[in-house]
A = this chain, B = another copy of it.
Amino acid sequence: MSTAAVADTRPYHHGDLRRALVDAAIRILEREGPSALSLRAVAREAGVSPAAPYHHFKDKGELLDAVAHVGWEALGVAMTEAKDRSADLSGLLTEIGVSYVQFSQDHPALYRVMYDCSRDKDALPEGIQDKEDSAYCLVRGAFRHVAGPQVADVDIELATIAAWCAAHGLAEMSMFKQFTPLKEAFGGEEGFLRAVLSHLGMFTPRVLPQD
């Protein structure tokens, strides 16, 4: 019994349904936003029955976890690119910060899912801090690189967290359109970001031995 309508290689046992579901979820997310992301809609988008996902994910939350994981990896790539792009040391952290916030603006729905999943588990996803090439380690490494070896680990950690908090706060707040007049005053989106980030101060190499 072959449908054989299109070159649609879908042999009722889908090749890689797990991957297809994650892709479908991201497609819906970018197209219709987070409120439209139901498990049934994902199954519909992938062309399978509403119960099919349960053979690959324990529940809806686990699918969202997989989606969020893809998002964190994409964010890590964007930040790494920003790091490699910035030649001088002084602008390193600012460049990374800008890339972070711009990612959140390019993929607002995905960014939201990424943090919603983290909140439900009371922890940032594993990929963000465990692996050596994670986004968190990238920022921490940048701070370490900028600050030099004499700064204590705990202070580097603190600086990293402070920077991450500021970037996340800015990412969420800059979605509010009431900031548009201020954005114009600072020469557009990126100018506004740089102004806020530089005002926050910790994206410039001022991490020094305290006291």
Contacts and interface: CB of A to CB of B under 8 A. Distances in A.
Interface string A173-196: 111111100100110000000011
Query: In this complex, which of A123, A159, A174, A196 has the most chain B Cβ atoms within 10 angstroms of its Cβ?
Result: A196
Nearest to A122: B177
B115 A176 contact: no
Nearest to A207: B199
Give the number of copies in the complex: 2
Interface in A105-152: 112, 115, 118-119, 122-124, 129
Nearest to A154: B185
Sorting the interface of chain A by its residue count into under 10, 10 to 19, 20 to 34 or 35 or more gives 35 or more
Contacts of A24: none
A172 B176 contact: no
A168 B168 CA distance: 8
Contacts of A168: 168-169, 172-173
29 contacts: A122-B175, A122-B176, A123-B176, A123-B177, A154-B182, A154-B185, A158-B186, A158-B195, A159-B199, A161-B179, A161-B182, A162-B170, A162-B200, A165-B166, A165-B169, A165-B172, A165-B174, A165-B196, A165-B200, A166-B166, A166-B169, A168-B168, A168-B169, A168-B173, A169-B169, A169-B172, A199-B202, A200-B202, A201-B201
3 A-B pairs with the lowest CB-CB distances in the bound complex, closest first: A169-B169, A165-B169, A168-B169
